[in-house]
């Protein structure tokens, strides 16, 4: 699919800059700024994951152990200021698709390893902002594909953290609350914050820690996922909401690639489980708790398991591929043809350009797959994904707890968009799967 084109005037760059800054985990990342000859500028902060899929576009890190334990990004910054800046300043450009394709060519590797996906995605996002601004449009309006109506997404607040995002024994990585039944985006944000507050009180009352994980959710010392779900369902009720699709539903990202061993077994709370056991466990969980969405319920290399899981739960639960699809249009197309999952997680830095991200979303739309726009566990205050989720009309965004500046920045951006354009609809693109209502 062709992303929105720039103005009739060709784009001429005067400046392409990169700065090594810190992300929310205290690790180096890039801030990229571009400027056109007409004075219009655009900037972007690059996110960074911890539970990454093996086929993701590759971040370039310096590996120099004397700085930031090898995690520095001076090489990636130099690639932006050097090779990429030279390319962009070499001639005038028609649109973002042309710029992104040229950066992919210049890199020359399948996974953007040479220049670095962090370098390329930062430039791509900054260019998208600058082009939108040059056209006098809000980023979300500019990102809206032809024929798609923008819509404010249901925010998915990650309020209990486990897995590699927290130092507790909980194997499942993310327990999210999704105000599917809210009447508007501001009411959804309010529900998220009120349930988060109720959960804090409940954890304190029960003697659990209220320390936080990487995405701002609580990280209590629990091991069984059902214990976390029990607490969450109680907190939703104590905050005055109905637990379920008519009020506040629950979404899970077990991030199962992280707890599947080389022997093919999944280890949950010390128990070794087969793929079939996991599917049975999810079937029980969705009967017992108002879980409407499961992301990465099985590992990225367990395609047979994914197919079986989709056959078992796909008609009533949104099954989202993250590590398994890595926002890659070709992998998503393959999954659609094989009936694997029914939705894709969308992370711009996972594929490495805005153009390819929009392509992945278009592949999903054509195949009837939902799209769930996502932050990374390492973030900056950049709010690009709030605009992407709104402009694409996909109806779903996850960007952590309703706490911590880098997470809240995205929710606050949605509130700003709502205030500027109160007529925008709020909610899922096509409503929850039918039988989520009749659990
Ligand atoms: P990551 O985790 O950003 O650490 O990869 C997010 C996710 O798994 O969805
Ligand atoms: Zn995930």
The active-site residue out of 59, 215, 300, 379 is: 215
Task: For residue 345, give the ligand 1 atom closest to its CA.
Answer: 9
Q: Which entry of 112, 347, 398, 410 is annotated as an active-site residue? A: 347
For residue 5, pLDDT over 90 is answered with no
Query: Residues with Cβ within 6 A of ligand 1?
Result: 49-52, 253, 255, 322, 374, 376-377
How confident is the model over 390-410, as a mean pLDDT? 98
| Alpha helices, H only, 71-116 | 74-79, 85-90, 96-107
Q: How far is the CA of 157 from the centre of ligand 1 (A)?
A: 14
Q: What does the pLDDT look like over 416-436, one tens digit per residue? A: 999 999 999 999 998 766 555
What string of DSSP letters covers 421-438?
Answer: -TTS-BS-SS-S-GGGGG
Assess whether pLDDT exceeds 90 at residue 349: yes
Q: Is 206 a catalytic residue?
A: no
**Tokens in use for 175?**
């327990």
Q: Are 348 and 381 in contact (CB under 8 A)?
A: no
CA of 322 to the centre of ligand 2 (A): 5
Looking from the CA of residue 378, the nearest atom of ligand 1 is 3
In whole angstroms, give the CA distance from residue 234 to residue 112.
45
| 66 Cα–ligand 2 center, Å | 31
Q: How confident is the model at residue 1 (pLDDT cuts 50, 70, 90)?
A: very low
Q: Which band of pLDDT confidence, cut at 50, 70 and 90, is reported for residue 234?
A: very high
| Confidence class for position 2, pLDDT limits 50, 70, 90 | very low
How confident is the model over 40-49, as a mean pLDDT? 98
Crossing angle for the helix pair 275-288 and 303-313, nearest 10 degrees? 30
Tell me, yes or no, if 98 is annotated catalytic. no
Residue 410 CB contacts under 8 Å (≥ 6 apart), including other chains: 375, 383, 385, 386, 397, 399, 400
Give the predicted TM-score (pTM) of the model: 0.97
The overall average pLDDT reported for the chain is 96
9 pLDDT higher than 90: no
pLDDT at 407 over 50: yes
Q: Could you tell which of 322, 351, 371 is best to mutate to test the pocket of ligand 1, judged by most ligand atoms within 8 Å of the CB?
A: 322
Share of the chain above pLDDT 90, in %: 95
Give the number of the atom of ligand 1 that is nearest the alpha carbon of residue 296. 8
Q: Which atom of ligand 1 is nearest to the CA of 323?
A: 8
H helices present in 317-404, as ranges = 329-338, 348-351, 354-367, 384-391
Dihedrals phi, psi of 326, to nearest 5 degrees = 45, 40
Is the pLDDT at 355 greater than 60, yes or no? yes
Per-residue pLDDT band for 8 (boundaries 50, 70, 90) equals: very low
The predicted pLDDT at position 432 comes to 67
Best residue among 49, 293, 401 to mutate for probing ligand 1's pocket (most ligand atoms within 8 Å of CB) is 49
Closest CA to 79 of 112, 57, 35: 112
């Amino acid at each position: 699919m062709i992303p929105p084109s720039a103005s009739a005037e060709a784009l001429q760059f005067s400046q392409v800059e990169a700065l090594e800054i810190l992300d929310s985990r205290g690790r180096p990342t890039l801030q990229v700024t571009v400027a056109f000859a007409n004075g219009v500028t655009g900037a972007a902060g690059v996110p960074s994951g911890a539970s990454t899929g093996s086929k993701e576009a590759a971040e370039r890190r310096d590996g120099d152990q004397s700085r930031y334990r090898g995690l520095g990004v001076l090489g990636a910054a130099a690639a932006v200021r050097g090779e990429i800046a030279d390319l962009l300043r070499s001639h005038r450009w028609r649109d973002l698709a042309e710029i992104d394709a040229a950066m992919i060519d210049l890199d020359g590797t399948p996974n953007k390893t040479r220049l670095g996906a962090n370098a390329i995605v930062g430039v791509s996002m900054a260019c998208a902002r600058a082009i939108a601004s040059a056209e006098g449009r809000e980023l979300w309006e500019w990102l809206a594909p032809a024929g798609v109506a923008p819509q404010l997404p249901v925010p998915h607040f990650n309020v209990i953290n486990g897995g590699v995002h927290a130092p507790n024994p909980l194997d499942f990585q993310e327990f999210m609350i999704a105000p599917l039944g809210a009447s508007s985006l501001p009411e959804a944000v309010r529900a998220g914050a009120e349930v988060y507050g109720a959960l804090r009180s409940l954890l304190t009352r029960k003697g659990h820690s209220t320390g936080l994980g990487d995405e701002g959710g609580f990280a209590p010392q629990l091991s069984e996922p059902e214990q976390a779900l029990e607490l969450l369902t109680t907190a939703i009720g104590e905050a005055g909401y109905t637990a379920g699709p008519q009020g506040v539903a629950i979404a899970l990202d077990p991030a199962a690639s992280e707890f599947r061993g080389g022997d093919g077994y999944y280890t949950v709370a010390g128990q070794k489980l087969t793929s079939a056991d996991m599917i049975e466990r999810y079937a029980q969980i969705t009967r017992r708790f108002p879980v409407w969405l499961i992301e990465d319920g099985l590992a990225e290399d367990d395609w047979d398991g994914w197919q079986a899981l989709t056959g078992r739960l796909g008609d009533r639960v949104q099954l989202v591929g993250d590590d398994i699809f890595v926002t890659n249009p070709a992998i998503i197309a393959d999954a659609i043809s094989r009936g694997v999952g029914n939705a894709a997680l969308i992370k711009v830095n996972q594929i490495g350009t805005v153009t390819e991200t929009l392509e992945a979303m278009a592949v999903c739309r054509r195949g009837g797959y939902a799209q769930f726009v996502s932050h990374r566990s390492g973030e900056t205050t950049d709010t690009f994904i709030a605009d992407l989720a709104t402009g694409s009309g996909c109806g779903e965004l996850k960007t952590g707890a309703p706490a911590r500046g880098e997470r809240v920045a995205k929710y606050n951006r949605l509130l700003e968009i709502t205030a500027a354009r109160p007529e925008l609809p709020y909610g899922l693109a096509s409503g929850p799967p039918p039988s989520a209502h009749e659990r």
